[in-house]
Structure 1
Amino acid sequence: MSTVTATNNVTSLHDYKVADISLADFGRREITLAEAEMPALMSLRKKYAAEKPLAHAKILGCIHMTVQTAVLIETLVELGAEVRWSSCNIFSTQDHAAACIAAAGIAVYAWKGQTEEEGEWCIEQTILKDGTPWDANMILDDGGDLTAMVHDKYPEMLASIHGITEETTTGVHRLLEMMEEGSLKVPAINVNDAVTKSKNDNKYGCRHSLNDGIKRGTDMLLSGKQALVVGYGDVGKGSAQSLRQEGMIVRISEIDPICAMQACMDGYEVVSPYTGGINTGNITDIDMRLLQDTDILVTCTGNAN
């Protein structure tokens, strides 16, 4: 149970902390709608609910706390697992989804608009139960923050953890760095490079959602404006298509020559964000004229180069 005092109207009660528990009914309606769009998980529930193949699984989760993730969480629980959850992003939580999961008796620490410190606190609360490290045996991560915190602050837990799944490119890169330096202590599965993730969600999910998110957040007409997309991997490809179908003038910055060639062949102008096309590592080498002509800048890579 959390003993931290609630602030800013965020509810802290029992083993959860969410923005507003009264949103649970709305969350349930939205989750029911999401179930209709997730037939694979629903088929798994129907097929294996009686067998409980995840009995004795104790799962720490740190993935965007949305209605879609709620369907995943409830599937894990229905198949026998115990789950503790937080969001991997301080802005992505859908408060009604988090409230519904909390009302269902599942430990969740997430609300939209956290500070960085609150985000780290929420991740730590999934690790701790009644103030002590939980005897978890699996980690489901997105971005690597939960994995890093367990390794850095609670290494004693690693002996009982069978493995880690990592959902996103940035988290996979962190795992590879840990493996190279010898600090990764448990097996990890690279979910991001599954074809259904990298070639489906990364590309088509971004194509569907980017323009919608920008318009909801800014209420701005996009047609005719200048956009710079940094990175032309699967996420960049989908994002560029999303902006182009709004009528934006889209330019691409990409350091990988193959991806840059793909951007060119797809009809985009490929540009360098650096004066003369050379990155010396100095901020003074950034081509400020390019940024001055850009209305919307979209970063689609965790590569700082």
Structure 2
Amino acid sequence: MSTITQVKHDVKDLSLAPIGKQRIEWAGREMPVLRQIQDRFAQEKPLAGIRLVACCHVTTETAHLAIALKNAGADALLIASNPLSTQDDVAASLVVDYGISVFAIKGEDNETYHRHVRTALDHKPNVIIDDGSDVVATLIQERQNQLPDLIGSTEETTTGIVRLKAMLADGVLTFPAMNVNDAETKHFFDNRYGTGQSTLDGVIRATNILLAGKAVVVAGYGWCGKGTAMRARGLGANVIVTEIDPVKAIEAAMDGFRVLPMALAAPLGDLFITVTGNKHVIRKEHFEVMKDGAIVCNSGHFDIEIDLKSLKEMASEVKTVRNFTEEYRLTNGKSVVVLGEGRLVNLAAAEGHPSAVMDMSFANQALACEYLVKNKGKLEPGIHSIPEELDREIARLKLQAMGIAIDSLTAEQIEYINSWTMGT
């Protein structure tokens, strides 16, 4: 082990580092785009002298983003964006093997989580990579004096973007924030294929149930909901979608899914998965009519989509029946099973998104940080999209790594699509 006493950290057990390093290296095999960025950053040092805080799920994939940021010359500090998403061996390896400050422990209580957020702000960041906007929100609410030091932030979750839009509407977003979540090489792939696969992976690891033939209710048909519904159907489930958006509801119906209000879906479902980013999507009136043994879980960012407070009040007994699996015995004699304490089931009970899809998401994060620093003082306060040329470059590099070639426009085609006089 390298000397670690000088690297600030709060992790579970540094002796886990060898296992973490091996897993980090394995994940890197599936992340060729970020690896190319790491190599370029090591040569160019675009973030030299920048104090950077990353609030992310501390996984093997995130490790490669942290390594890229360090290669770029950033003074980087990493904290967990969710109390149950940290992989303790990865946190240990980042400290021991890569010299990166990490403050993250799987299962940390809310007090510890919020202490780590404030520790991150003590780092006086110039750039914040946020996952849910907790760090940015705390900065605005508690550390207004640090705002002049902030060049900008990046955000890669739907929930976080919703919060940033609310900050903008309230007039408190006084710096540029990069909307990584809506980059095409992020939400088309990470949200749909990553969330779809990893959510079902978490459910299966926690319960070992057979999904074929089950009635699976997916709450929300955004990109995460699309992916979850698609993968559940692929495993043989009968999928019901609930929605509040009429356009998304039509899309779900035309994609072949049954669309119902939650009140009508609640008595039918064997498994419920929330992916809305909103509060109390499953509530007391829904628990009351569920089948005995119905399983509920969440794959949205925060643990508020399931009204666990009401469920606890309805329960005569709560017991852990498997890892990350709690059975609530209700006073009506039936039971409801909750996975991962209502937190992100794909990270609480599994390992999160596959490396291949996070390769593009974290490439966007790394390039967004570089873009913020390069354009310091030039970007207006508010929410900014990832420049299209960066999005396309990430896609090009990914295709190249996959060994896939595509066509190019001919000179005649370029002339045609840029002309208004050439018709029938």
**Counterpart residue number, 2:159:** 170
**Counterpart residue number, 2:90:** 97
State which structure, 1 or 2, has the greater radius of gyration over its C-alpha atoms.
Answer: 2
Is residue 199 of structure 1 aligned with residue 180 of structure 2?
A: no
Is residue 61 of structure 1 aligned with residue 68 of structure 2?
A: no
Deviations 1:135-187 (A, max 9, x none): 32000000010111111111111101100101101110111101111111211
**Residue among 69, 75, 88 paired with 1:82:** 75
In 1, Cα distance between equivalents of 2:178 and 2:90: 27
Is residue 35 of structure 1 aligned with residue 28 of structure 2?
A: yes
**Counterpart residue number, 2:150:** 161
Is residue 124 of structure 1 aligned with residue 123 of structure 2?
A: no
Assess if the C-alpha contact under 8 Å between 2:154 and 2:179 holds in 1: yes
Residues 226/99 of structure 1: CA separation in 2 closer, same or farther (3 Å cut):
same
Give the letter aligned to residue 21 of structure 2.
R
Is residue 108 of structure 1 aligned with residue 120 of structure 2?
A: no
Identity between Structure 1 and Structure 2 (%): 38
Is residue 243 of structure 1 aligned with residue 232 of structure 2?
A: yes
Assess if the C-alpha contact under 8 Å between 1:206 and 1:242 holds in 2: no
Runs of 4+ in 1 over 6 A off after TM superposition: none
Structure 2 residue runs without a partner (length 5+): 266-280, 306-424
Structure showing greater relative contact order (alpha-carbon pairs closer than 8 Å, 6 or more residues apart): 2
**Counterpart residue number, 1:21:** 14
Assess if the C-alpha contact under 8 Å between 1:166 and 1:189 holds in 2: yes
**Counterpart residue number, 2:291:** 292
Could you state the TM-score of these two structures normalised by the residue count of structure 1? 0.86
Task: Map 1:229-268 to 2 at 5 A.
Answer: 229-268=218-257
Deviation at 1:14, TM superposition (A): 5.6
Deviations 1:111-148 (A, max 9, x none): 111222221112222222xxxxx332000000010111
Deviation at 1:226, TM superposition (A): 2.0
- Deviating more after overlay: 252-261 vs 41-50: 41-50
Give the letter aligned to residue 167 of structure 2.
M
**Counterpart residue number, 1:6:** none
In 2, Cα distance between equivalents of 1:51 and 1:166: 24
Number of aligned residue pairs: 285
Give the letter aligned to residue 111 of structure 1.
I
Residues 49/275 of structure 1: CA separation in 2 closer, same or farther (3 Å cut):
closer
**Counterpart residue number, 1:8:** none
Assess if the C-alpha contact under 8 Å between 1:211 and 1:246 holds in 2: no
In 2, Cα distance between equivalents of 1:137 and 1:256: 38
Q: What CA RMSD, in Å, does the superposition of the two structures yield over aligned residues?
A: 2.6
In 1, Cα distance between equivalents of 2:24 and 2:284: 48
Deviation at 1:295, TM superposition (A): 3.2
Deviation at 1:78, TM superposition (A): 0.9
